[in-house]
Amino acid sequence: MAKKVTKAVIAAAGLGTRFLPMTKAMPKEMLPIIDKPIIQYVVEEAVAAGITDIIIVGSANKRAIEDHFDHQYELERKLRHDGKIEAAERMERIAELANFIYLRQKGPYGTATPLLNARHLLNNEPFLFLYADDFFLSPKPRAVTLMEAYNRYGQSVIALTPMDRSRSKSYGVADVIGDPSDGVFRLAGLIEKPEPDEAPHRDDTVYVSTAGQILTSDILPLLDNLKPNPKNGEMVLADAINELTQDHEVYGSVIEGHWHDAGNKEKYLEAIVDFALADENIAPAFRKYLEEKLV
């Protein structure tokens, strides 16, 4: 039986330079998608998967994230006094989503660095790893899909999204083995940004790693011994996962839905439009507005 996953690490240390000057004082993870910051969507999907303890690895200008997931008692009292009970309860629920732990990232840049910073808090347990600006609009939360695959196999599992092979150079591409079972592949490894003619594919479809994984404690010694990648000098998590595949089973689970990486302006705007069109309260008027603008 797979060991229960109760901890999540969320990487939130990026400087958000593509959104300057907005991110000079405000973390990019707090940019709103309609009425919720990006990072709240990520936290909520972790909680939906059964996570109770969330470690957010940030940096010096991320205080707003801590404030957002804390009680603001004056606001809650004011809302109740004004008869806005539902709004008050919604604010209270944000602070009660999980037990939050905040760390400042130290060390060389890279996707593995947040995990090295949080290593001492993981207690040799399996954990969920997500990025604070990377999320899905999907019928089932990504983290829930990953948890189902982990509970089934008891091994590390990463999120996969199918894409046309022509786009492989922009992503880490999974080298999948055999046929999928309920959307889950066994992995031989990850190939970072391969040329289309070199990318592992199925009928011109590649399966790219989309920034979400449940990792067993077997990854921790590999992280301890990880060296900077010679190509970019960064601590690359995919390098440790590749090493993990040599001695352990690693799986990839295809995530249904639309992947949103809000790391640039265009993708951020796409996320806002998609979430607005999926909101039954906003969608009718907003769709009409878009149709009128696009005529």
Q: What tokens does 196 get? A: 């289309």
> pLDDT tens, 195-236?
888 888 878 888 998 889 999 999 999 999 988 888 777 888
Q: What tokens does 121 get? A: 């808090």
Strand locations in the chain (E):
7-11, 32-33, 36-37, 53-58, 99-104, 127-131, 134-137, 156-164, 172-181, 184-192, 205-215, 250-254, 258-261
H/E element, 219: helix 219-224
Residue-wise burial string across 181-191, b where 16 or more C-beta atoms lie within 10 A, e elsewhere: eeebbbbbbbb
Whole-number average pLDDT of the chain: 91
Alpha carbon distance 6, 126 (integer Å): 8
All structural domains of the chain with their residue ranges:
7-263
- Is a pLDDT exceeding 90 seen at residue 65? yes
Per-residue confidence (pLDDT) for residue 293, from 0 to 100: 87
Q: Is 21 exposed, middle or buried (0-12, 13-18, 19+ CB in 10 A)?
A: exposed
Per-residue confidence (pLDDT) for residue 204, from 0 to 100: 82
* Residue 192 pLDDT class (50, 70, 90 cuts): confident
Pairing of strands 53-58, 99-104: parallel
Per-residue confidence (pLDDT) for residue 5, from 0 to 100: 96
Q: What is the DSSP secondary structure assignment for residue 119, as one 8-state letter?
A: G
Residue with tokens 């690693």: 250
Q: Yes or no: is domain 7-263 CATH 3.40.50.620?
A: no
